Amino acid sequence: MDSSSSSSAAGLGTVDPQLQHFIEVETQKQRFQQLVHQMTELCWEKCMDKPGPKLDSRAEACFVNCVERFIDTSQFILNRLEQTQKSKPVFSESLSD
Amino acid sequence: MEGGFGSDFGNSGGGKLDPGLIMEQVKVQIAVANAQELLQRMTDKCFRKCIGKPGGSLDNSEQKCIAMCMDRYMDAWNTVSRAYNSRLQRERANM
């Protein structure tokens, strides 16, 4: 059908561009959801004492901070790994691709 | 989840794949997978919080605790989702 889509789909022949877009969007959404599951579980341990009749403001603030610091931690580690990679590569090839 | 993946997956006969049907089925499967994920993690967390020593039955106070725990877990999930989303928005604005 569409010659421009030939590079993306290896061995699948023609891929419906609409379908391809759908898969990309859903993959993004799923990544988001997956991280929400993971962070909820992690922050639950840090922020939740005994489940009460409602989520109090202290716990809610803890959850928000927990999410922010988790992402900060992830970015910090990524940055630091990149920095150390530049000065003295530990993984010569394994991380490059 | 099993079954129907190879045989009738988006295949409305004649060997031609219907993208609309595939998208519908993928959406359903994603929703099921997310519900299972939530159920599994929620069960784990609320079991830990509410069942001290497993007794002969799930007694009344344990059931009350589980019900409350489920609601709080959903609150937590939504709070985390909102916080993560606003972080993404902020970072996108700073790009």
Q: Which domains occur in chain B, in start order?
A: 19-93 (1.10.287.810)
The CA distance from A67 to the nearest CA of chain B, in Å, is: 6
Q: Hey, are the CB atoms on A51 and B68 less than 8 Å from each other? A: yes
Buried b (16+ CB within 10 A) or exposed e, B7-35: eeebeeeeeeebeeebbebbeeeeeeebe
The tokens of A28 are what? 């993004």
Q: Hey, are the CB atoms on B84 and A67 less than 8 Å from each other? A: yes
Check pLDDT > 90 for residue B31: yes
Across A1-16, average pLDDT: 53
The residues of A whose Cβ lies within 8 A of any Cβ of B are 16, 18-19, 22-23, 26, 29-30, 32-37, 39-41, 43-44, 47-48, 50-55, 59-60, 63-64, 66-68, 71
User: Is CATH 1.10.287.810 the classification given to domain A15-87?
Assistant: yes
Domain boundaries along the sequence of chain A: 15-87
Check pLDDT > 60 for residue A6: no
User: Nearest Cβ partner of A44 from B65, B71, B76?
Assistant: B76
Instruction: Supply the pTM of this predicted model.
Output: 0.78
Helices B60-93 and B19-50: crossing angle in degrees, nearest 10, is: 130
> Considering Cα of A85, then A90, then A92, then A95, what sign does the dihedral take?
negative
How far lies B32's CA from each of A39, B22, B39, B50, B91, in Å?
Answer: 20, 15, 10, 26, 30
Residues B84, A39: Cα–Cα separation, whole Å: 9
Residues B12, B10: Cα–Cα separation, whole Å: 6
The tokens of A2 are what? 């569409």
Q: What are phi and psi of B17, to 5 degrees?
A: -80, 135
* pLDDT tens, residue by residue, B59-78: 999 999 999 999 999 999 99
Query: ipTM score of the complex?
Result: 0.80
* pLDDT tens, residue by residue, A9-22: 455 567 788 888 99
Query: What pLDDT is attached to residue B18?
Result: 82
Query: What pLDDT is attached to residue A97?
Result: 52
